[in-house]
Amino acid sequence: QSALTQPRSVSGSPGQSVTISCTGTSSDVGGYNYVSWYQQHPGKAPKLMIYDVSKRPSGVPDRFSGSKSGNTASLTISGLQAEDEADYYCCSYAGSYTPWVFGGGTKLTVL
């Protein structure tokens, strides 16, 4: 069982928006502004999409955005495209005892 809770799957049609939630506790998501999101296509390594809750690395489309409220972080993908179909994982810093925890992953299907 993963430390952070994500929905197992979400779906949307091209052009629509979807939001993926990531729920933790006050010891991880709620305690630090250090949530990151990773996209993983089948057979590939994860790719950083969002860091520090809402910052986008260079090269990541602005269709991807992140936010946080309390112990829940969210990744929103607007203007869905076929190539967005992938697994998405959230990750949070959780303090010096167990520094990083991941979510269980969410499979995004573009209908």
Q: Where do contacts with another protein occur on this chain (CB under 8 A)?
A: 2, 32, 34, 36, 38, 44-48, 51-52, 57, 89, 91, 93, 96-105
Which residue is associated with the tokens 């076929």? 82
Q: DSSP secondary structure string, 78-108?
A: -S--GGG-EEEEEEEE--SSS-EEEB--EEE
Q: Which is nearer to another protein, 28 or 80 (CB)?
A: 28
From the CB of 17, what's the least distance to another protein, in Å?
24
| R_g of the chain computed on alpha carbons | 13
CB of 66 to another protein, least distance (A): 11
Query: 31: Cβ–Cβ under 8 A, 6 or more apart, which residues?
Result: 25, 94, 95
- Smallest separation, CB 36 to another protein (Å): 4
Please say which residue, 70 or 99, places its beta carbon nearer to another protein: 99
CB-nearer residue toward another protein: 76 or 104: 104
